[in-house]
Copies of this chain bind each other. A is one copy, B any other.
Amino acid sequence: MPRKPTPERLTFFSDGVFAVLITVLVLELRPPAVPTYAALLDLWPRWLSYAVSYVFIAIVWANHHYLMRFAREATGRLLWFNFAHLFAMSLLPFSTAWMAVSKLAPQPVAFYAGVFFLVNATYIGLIWELVGHTHAARRTLRLRSLLTLGLFAVAALVALKFPLAGLGICVCCLIVYLRPEP
Q: Does A182 contact B (CB under 8 A)?
A: no
Which B residues are CB-close (under 8 A) to A107? 35-37
Q: Does A58 contact B (CB under 8 A)?
A: yes
Residue-wise interface mask of A (80-111) relative to B, using a CB-CB cutoff of 8 A (1 in contact, 0 not): 10010011001101100110011001111001
Which one of B1, B29, B108 contacts A94 once the chains associate, using CB atoms below 8 Å? B29
Which B residues are CB-close (under 8 A) to A79? 62, 65
Interface segment, A68-76, A119-127, A145-153, A165-173? A68-76
Q: Does A61 contact B (CB under 8 A)?
A: yes
* B69 lies within 8 A of A35 (CB): no
Q: Does A40 contact B (CB under 8 A)?
A: yes
Which one of B31, B61, B178 contacts A108 once the chains associate, using CB atoms below 8 Å? B31
With A5-B65, A58-B83, A101-B31 as contacts: A19 and B24 at CB distance below 8 Å: no
Which B residues are CB-close (under 8 A) to A11? 9
Which one of B9, B31, B101 contacts A97 once the chains associate, using CB atoms below 8 Å? B31
With A2-B66, A65-B9 as contacts: A23 and B17 at CB distance below 8 Å: yes
A-B contact pairs, 12 of them (CB 8 A): A10-B65, A12-B15, A13-B18, A13-B61, A17-B19, A21-B23, A22-B90, A26-B94, A27-B93, A35-B102, A62-B79, A80-B178
